[in-house]
Structure 1
Amino acid sequence: MTTTPRPLFRRIVVGFDSAGEPQMLIETATRLARATRAAIHGVFVEDNRVMALAELPFVKVVHAPGSASAHIGAERMRAAITREAAACESLLSQSARRAQLAWSFGRTQGAFREQLERAADAGDLILVRADPHAGPAVSDALAVARSPRSKAAGLVVVPRLARPVRGPLALLAAGDKAPLQPLQLAASLAQERREPLTVLLVAPSQAAMAELEAALGQARVQRPLTVHRLIGGALDHLTHLLRDLGASLVAADLEGELFRNEAAALAVIAAAAAPVVLLRESA
């Protein structure tokens, strides 16, 4: 008798806001959901601070250079947010239906970070957009996943733009709590898209590298993979290597030593220039 493998995640929870340009978020969510047999749940967060800003008398909208400006106001801003939410829901539904995925969508009000924490439950993977070169935005996203209140299985940081792709990459570093989780996810993505699979092993010493290689040897990966090794290199060596490899997606351990260091986490996410999936041991 054959059994269906347990989905890696229950849902991919996608955080939308009024910033627009949801295409990269939806494309990444759909790709992850297809590979992991997860449902997609979109959450459009109407940030109360945006509405408060619209009420200020000096906040105006200019439609074209040289044209007259107009006060935004709460009514105009609310209508714009409603249109953006409807556009996000429409694009998400179209993508999910094409991929034959279960999906849902909801709207809420409040602080973006707090609303995502509330929306994500055990087994969910939170997906947000954050400019990798804007430290505060990425730090806020990391704080969502690291929060002791969060039940999420991990976080996906999606850039506004991505480079040409070479397939997913699993970043396994010495000190990771669950090094095979990122590998399992990267392998599933490579299988789904028939893309090459790359593994990057990072260790401070030859002995630590031997332990990583032993863990890799125990993994049951059904696809050929290319392994790169970095021993004792500085952080800038790692970031340069990530830029050179040009992965379509990077999967890593959120609770490992590398991503517990805020500066290192920001540098790696920026260097990836692609969606970065950070998994918790409980995923």
Structure 2
Amino acid sequence: MQHEVHRGGYVALVGRPNVGKSTLLNRILGQKIAITSPKPQTTRNRILGILHRPDAQVMFLDTPGIHHAAGNKLNRYMVSQAHGAMNDVDCIMLLVEADRPVTAAEESVIRSISQSGRPALLVINKIDRVAPPALLDLIRRYSELHDFLEIVPVSALKGDGIEQLLDALLPHLPEGPPLYPEEMVTDQPERFIVAEMIREQVLKKLQKEIPYGTAVQIELFEDQPERDLVEIHAVIHVEREPHKRILVGKGGSMIRSIGQAARFDIERLLDTRVFLKLFVRVDRDWTRSDRLLREFGYE
């Protein structure tokens, strides 16, 4: 009797900031575990998302966008997370944008992939933004830069091309049994995802540089089954006193708006009512402090 081959492996999602890596991961998994926003550098940590199929189990690592890491230590940490992931996986997925020509930034990421020695697929995202002739020209240009296993056009936002992408990926993963139980979708604890959902709303509702100087810590996460409720207290850390005033807003309007939007997502995640209380604290120049970066989970 012939048994069906089961494959599994780790796959790193890499690319410049804001190319749609987290949107693609959420789409593949069919649920939200990674936050998204229109702002670059939304993702700060490597986030594991696990896809379960009868014939495969794929562990995707969503990574921070690769960018020039000049400036504070937080930026250098994020880039190191992305580069490190490329050396720890069975395969790499490079995401690029269909409506963006190949630039030095993309060529730099491709050089890093070549140096890793790992096989790579090219995923051209946001194909709904371009006409077919432009897409074909882009595919031809990338084919000249690297010997990709496959080149797959997708729209992560709309879900186009996702099954074709998985069909292209799976044959290149090693044979092996599942490594994680079927009910496990990520290795991140609920507290981490909740903190990220709060930070996501900060990114969406605030402008300019303020969102990049914020970090979120969960200080209380208490399940109260007798009330069918989870009580959560979270601190949003900022680098400057003026940033705190903007984040709180006139009469507390901004922090209430952030809390209401975050609570909606958290209740969907936890499938229960949530009482969410937010605090804002100034930690001057925390993005340059080794101690505070470790304390806030960036180590």
Asked whether the two chains share a fold, i.e. TM above 0.5, the reply is no
TM-score (norm 1): 0.29
TM-score (norm 2): 0.27
